[in-house]
Amino acid sequence: MALRHAVLAALLDEELSGYQLAKAFDLGVANFWYAQPQQLYAELTRLERDGLVSGREVVQESRPNKRLFRVTDAGLAELEEFTAASTKPSFIRDDLLVKVQAADHVDTTALVAQLTERAAFARARIDLFGKLLRGMRGDRTEEEFLRDGDRIGPYLTCLRGLAFEEGNRDWCERTVATLRERRQASSPR
């Protein structure tokens, strides 16, 4: 039950609809978890059934009505309990790493292309995270914000996301360079 707590954590700061939540989780703004819209709707239904969030219908004129959800006291207690419980370690689990692991035994042309693509993706997210961070801290420096700001949770997780993507970018670039160099060395024109 991890998605469950991720949803609760995301709803702590603002009341959101399932759709808005899906946006955040899908487009990586919520860099601490990832989920498909359908999963979120289902989870919200379960959370409401269990009394951990409460939804209220908001009637809209020019678009479909929506339900905004907020965390209840019981939900906050659940999160508190979750936070106190021990955390299991997390591991990287990435198709791209599997492919690189096999790099000595398969053709690397397509692999290099995919590493390049991933590096570009990482750069886009680094950009996004940089903007999000600047938006959150406003005109303060990072140090000031982390000392005095309220709601530093999202900022801290965003920092982790940023570092992760920087790691991706650097590793992809380096791996591409390595594979290219080896290819040239093994098959000179």
16 binds its own copies per the rule CB under 8 A: no
Select the span of 58-66, 71-79, 98-106, 139-147 touching DNA (CB under 7 A): 58-66
Cβ density class 56-95: b for 16+ within 10 Å, e for less: eeeeeeeeeebbbbebbeebeebbeeeeeeeeeeeeeeee
Q: What's the min distance (Å) between Cβ of 187 and its own copies? A: 15
Comparison of 23 and 70: residue with beta carbon closer to DNA: 23
Q: Which of residues 56-95 bind its own copies (CB under 8 A)?
A: 76, 79-80, 82-84, 86-95
Q: Which of its own copies, DNA, none does residue 39 bind (CB under 5 to 8 Å by kind)?
A: DNA
Q: What's the min distance (Å) between Cβ of 4 and DNA? A: 7
Identify the residue among 140, 147, 180, 183 touching its own copies (CB under 8 A). 147
Comparison of 64 and 188: residue with beta carbon closer to DNA: 64
Contact partners, residue 35, CB within 8 Å, separation at least 6: 3, 6, 22, 25, 26, 43
DSSP-assigned states of every residue in 4-51:
HHHHHHHHSSS-EEHHHHHHHHHTTSSTT----HHHHHHHHHHHHHTT
Type and span of the H or E element at 107:
none
The answer to whether the CB of 59 falls within 8 A of the CB of 17 is no
Q: Would you tell me which residues interact with its own copies (CB under 8 A)?
A: 2, 5-6, 8-10, 12-13, 28, 31-34, 76, 79-80, 82-84, 86-107, 110-111, 114, 117-118, 121, 146-147, 150-154, 156-157, 159-161, 163-164, 167, 170-171, 174-175, 178, 181-182, 185
